[in-house]
Amino acid sequence: MVDDDLIWERVKSEGGPELPLFRVRFDFMRHPQRAQTFKRLVLEAEDWVNVVALTSDGRSVMVEQYRFGIGELTLEPTAGMVSAGEEPLAAAKRELLEETGYGGGQWHYLGAVQPNPATQNNLCHHWLAQDVVAVQPPAPEDGEAIRVHLMTLEELRGAIAAGRLRHTLALSALSRVYALWEPRA
């Protein structure tokens, strides 16, 4: 496959306004097939992680919390940001322990996805943790309020059908572990 006529050239970059969570950058990109340059927004972010954590009786350790963007409660596997200098796996274990109090278990890497390649430069890494156990009380950060739920696959499917579980990155991780939907093709 010849891709050269699809690859844009970066002419220059500029910093943008200050935001929390993201560093704003503008790239001036030359169209690969025409002498035309376009200003494109890039939101730089640390990598993200999430983890499908299963207890020995096969239930998923899920967190319910208010999400400020959508303005609703969501159900999700534990998720968070990788801190500077931290390994993604260490971040996933830290977030699971902080948000739910669960730890231990056997960890398997499920791969990484691009949360939004059109504007963001980061990846979200997915893990499966099997046979996790409650090792301490949850210790969420000051800016968090979280309720833990242990859910069967049937309950996860019910939450999806009810519209309470539709965070793309949550579904992305869960769909590597469970058959959430009937195939249509």
- Binding to a second copy (CB under 8 A) within 163-182 occurs at 166-169, 171-172, 175-181
DSSP 3-state of 2: coil
Distance CA 142, CA 96 (A): 16
CB atoms within 10 A of CB 185: 2
Q: How many CA atoms lie within 13 A of 4 on its CB side?
A: 1
158 lines the binding site for a second copy (CB under 8 A): no
Select the residue interacting with a second copy from 54, 61, 92, 97 (CB under 8 A). 54
Stretch that binds a second copy, among 65-73, 82-90, 91-99, 131-139 (CB under 8 A): 65-73
* Contact yes or no for 155/165 (Cβ under 8 A): no
The answer to whether residue 15 forms part of the interface with a second copy (CB under 8 A) is no
Write the DSSP assignment of 26-40 as a string of letters.
EEEEE-TTSS-EEEE
Question: What one-character-per-residue DSSP string does 47-81 give?
Answer: -EEEEEEE-TTS-EEEEEEEETTTTEEEEEEEEEE
Q: Which of 109, 147, 158, 162 binds a second copy (CB under 8 A)?
A: 147
Instruction: Decide: is 12 part of the binding site for a second copy (CB under 8 A).
Output: no
Of 47, 50, 39, 41, residue with least CA distance to 21? 47
Count of residues that interact with a second copy, criterion CB under 8 A: 76
Under the binding rule (CB under 8 A), the answer on residue 42 touching a second copy is: yes
Cβ atoms of 44 and 61 closer than 8 Å = no
The least distance separating a second copy from the CB of residue 99, rounded to whole angstroms, comes to: 13
Binding residue (CB under 8 A) for a second copy from 11, 87, 109, 117: 117
**By the rule CB under 8 A, 55 interacts with a second copy:** no
Q: How far is the CB of 87 from a second copy (least distance, A)?
A: 20
106 forms part of the interface with a second copy (CB under 8 A): no
Within positions 78 to 97, which residues make up the interface with a second copy, using CB under 8 A? none
Taking CB under 8 A as the criterion, the residue among 12, 14, 72, 158 binding a second copy is 72
Q: Which of 11, 31, 56, 83 binds a second copy (CB under 8 A)?
A: 31
Query: CB of 52 within 8 A of CB of 128?
Result: yes
